[in-house]
Structure 1
Amino acid sequence: MKQELRQLLEDCIENGSESDLESLASLLRGVQQKIDMNSDTYIGHLLHMDRKMDKNTCEITIPINPIIHNNLDIVHGGITATVLDTAMGSLANYVLPEGLGAVTNQLNIHYIAPGIGDTLSCKADIIHHGTKTIVVSGTAYRNDGKKIAYATGTFFIINK
């Protein structure tokens, strides 16, 4: 595996454009961060998520780069959905007592404007906290302050 990976990296370095190499470096930094932090998951590290949380809100910011662009050179809607779902789900899990977890049951997103600029930030707030579900809202902004998406999510409360 290591030899195959070395060859793949050498081929990418030799033949990749500057944008390809910047993207490869970003992905490798994310994998290295996952390894260094002994984390269980990749997605937060690969997207370089910066998370701020308190009992009422969760805000996640990611850098915008070519890795997350669609063919129109704007943030892919699925990336926006992923960051919104992560912010909302993180908050839902944060407010639960030990032994319980929250998983996405339903996610509704309204895309408003293109994701462009340097960063994408998603902020989540609890709308309802019941015994079986938590309902959360989320808003995605680009770094110029323009709202690019609004979402709501329902999360099942489960035993871990």
Structure 2
Amino acid sequence: MMKDALQQLLDSCIEHGTETDLDALQHLLEGVQKKIIQNKSTFIDGILHMERTFEQNTCEITIPIQSVLNNNLNILHGGITATVLDTAMGSLANYYLPEGFGAVTNQLNIHYTAPGTGDLLRCKAEIIHQGSKTMVISGEAYRSDGKKIAHATGTFFIISK
């Protein structure tokens, strides 16, 4: 039953969608497929096509910028930038915590400095402070031409899993 309804929805989108709509749909479906194939832990990782690396107390996440992620001004939606910054900072916090502990966002501050344009968003996070109950992490977001588009700080609660 669910597959039939999904197939009908997909067929309708394909039949009535513009090229831009179909490009967005393909991007989203490829992200869901990536989540399934790579056994990603969350749909947001797959849907945003996140590539994550850790090195020297930093975490870096890159995503391709695609029209489905844009706001009505046709630039990257600030909420997407916030999501990727939060994910980079939270991933870093969780990466360095001992077994049995996790980190969740307590506070997130973002200063947007330029529009998100181009082909790629790159967010880099680094630990500022690690205590027994909280961590403070900074993050910066860059567009594909290297221009910084946002600076963030986040406080993360350390919790038992």
Alignment TM class, shorter chain as reference: over 0.9
Is 1:92 aligned to residue 93 of structure 2? yes
- Show the counterpart of 1:113: 114
- Show the counterpart of 2:32: 31
Q: Judge which range, 60-69 or 32-41, deviates more.
A: 32-41
What are the within-5 Å matches in structure 2 for residues 53-92 of structure 1? 53-92=54-93
Q: Is the 8 A contact 1:57 1:126 kept in 2?
A: yes
Provide runs of 4+ in structure 1 moved above 6 Å.
none
Distance, in Å, in 1 between the alignment partners of 2:35 and 2:107 is: 28
Question: Secondary structure in 2 aligned to 1:145?
Answer: coil
| 1:123-145 CA-partner distances (Å, limit 9, x unpaired) | 00100011110000000000101
Question: Secondary structure in 2 aligned to 1:72?
Answer: coil
- Show the counterpart of 2:137: 136
What TM-score do you get using the length of structure 2 for normalisation?
A: 0.97
Q: Is the 8 A contact 1:55 1:95 kept in 2?
A: no
Q: Is the 8 A contact 1:75 1:114 kept in 2?
A: yes
Same amino acid, percent of matched pairs: 69
- Show the counterpart of 1:127: 128
User: Displacement of 1:35 after TM fit?
Assistant: 1.4
Distance, in Å, in 2 between the alignment partners of 1:98 and 1:55 is: 20
Q: Judge which range, 144-153 or 15-24, deviates more.
A: 15-24
Distance, in Å, in 2 between the alignment partners of 1:117 and 1:38 is: 29
Unaligned residue ranges in structure 2 (runs of 5+): none
User: Displacement of 1:32 after TM fit?
Assistant: 0.9
User: Displacement of 1:34 after TM fit?
Assistant: 1.3
User: Displacement of 1:33 after TM fit?
Assistant: 1.3
AA matched with 2:74: D
Distance, in Å, in 1 between the alignment partners of 2:10 and 2:51 is: 27
AA matched with 1:29: E
User: Displacement of 1:43 after TM fit?
Assistant: 0.2
AA matched with 1:84: L
The count of residues paired between Structure 1 and Structure 2 equals 160
Question: Secondary structure in 2 aligned to 1:87?
Answer: helix
User: Displacement of 1:55 after TM fit?
Assistant: 4.6
User: Displacement of 1:90 after TM fit?
Assistant: 0.2
